[in-house]
Structure 1
Amino acid sequence: MDSRFKLYYFDARARGELIRLIFHAAGEDFEDIKVYQGMWEKLKPAMPFHTLPVLEIGEQQLSQSLSIARYLANIFDMAGRNNLEKALVDSAAELIDELLSDALKIIYEREHKYKARATKKFGAITLPAKMHRLEEFHSKYGKGYGYIVGNDLTYADLAAYSTFDQIVAAAIVPWEYFEQFPYPSQLKKRILDGEPRLSQYFRYTNS
Structure 2
Amino acid sequence: MVQYKITYFDSRGGAELCRLVLKAAKVDFVDERLTGEEWAKRKEGMPLQALPVLTIDGSQVICQSAAIARYLAKENGLMGANNLEALRIDEVMEMFSEMVQRELIKIYMVKDNEEERNKLVKTFVEGPMKKYLTFLEMRLKENKDGKGFLVGDKLSLGDLAIYDGLSLLTALLVNVDPFEGRSLLKEHQSRVGSVPEIAEWVSTRPKTKF
Deviation at 1:196, TM superposition (A): 0.8
Q: Which moved more, 1:157-166 or 1:140-149?
A: 140-149
Distance 1:117 1:52 in 2: 30
Deviation at 1:179, TM superposition (A): 5.2
Distance 1:107 1:142 in 2: 35
Amino acid corresponding to residue 204 of structure 2 in structure 1: Y
Q: Which moved more, 1:70-79 or 1:119-128?
A: 119-128
Structure 2 counterpart of 1:116: 118
Distance 1:31 1:38 in 2: 20
Q: Percent identity between the aligned chains?
A: 30
Deviation at 1:174, TM superposition (A): 4.7
TM-score, structure 2 as length reference: 0.86
Structure 1 counterpart of 2:165: 163
Deviation at 1:13, TM superposition (A): 1.1
Q: Give 3-state SS (helix, strand or coil) of 1:8's partner.
A: strand
TM-score, structure 1 as length reference: 0.87
Residues 203/146 of structure 1: CA separation in 2 closer, same or farther (3 Å cut): farther
Structure 2 counterpart of 1:4: 3
Q: Does 1:43 align with 2:42?
A: yes
Q: Does 1:74 align with 2:57?
A: no
Distance 1:180 1:190 in 2: 17
Deviation at 1:22, TM superposition (A): 0.7
Distance 2:153 2:146 in 1: 4
Deviation at 1:63, TM superposition (A): 0.8
Q: Which moved more, 1:144-153 or 1:77-86?
A: 144-153
**Counterpart contact for 1:119–1:172, Cα < 8 Å:** no
RMSD over equivalenced CA pairs, Å: 2.3
Distance 2:126 2:35 in 1: 35
Distance 2:203 2:129 in 1: 25
**Counterpart contact for 2:4–2:55, Cα < 8 Å:** yes
Q: Which moved more, 1:139-148 or 1:164-173?
A: 139-148
Distance 1:192 1:88 in 2: 21
Structure 2 counterpart of 1:126: 128
Structure 1 counterpart of 2:108: 107
Deviation at 1:138, TM superposition (A): 2.2
Q: Does 1:145 align with 2:144?
A: no
Amino acid corresponding to residue 152 of structure 1 in structure 2: K
Deviation at 1:192, TM superposition (A): 3.2
Unaligned 5+ runs, structure 1: none
Distance 1:96 1:53 in 2: 17
CA offsets per residue over residues 95-124 of structure 1, 9 Å max, x none?
Answer: 123234433432342322221111111211
Structure 2 counterpart of 1:190: 191
The higher relative CO (CA closer than 8 Å, separation ≥ 6) is in 2
**Counterpart contact for 1:167–1:173, Cα < 8 Å:** no
Residues 13/189 of structure 1: CA separation in 2 closer, same or farther (3 Å cut): same
**Counterpart contact for 2:163–2:193, Cα < 8 Å:** no
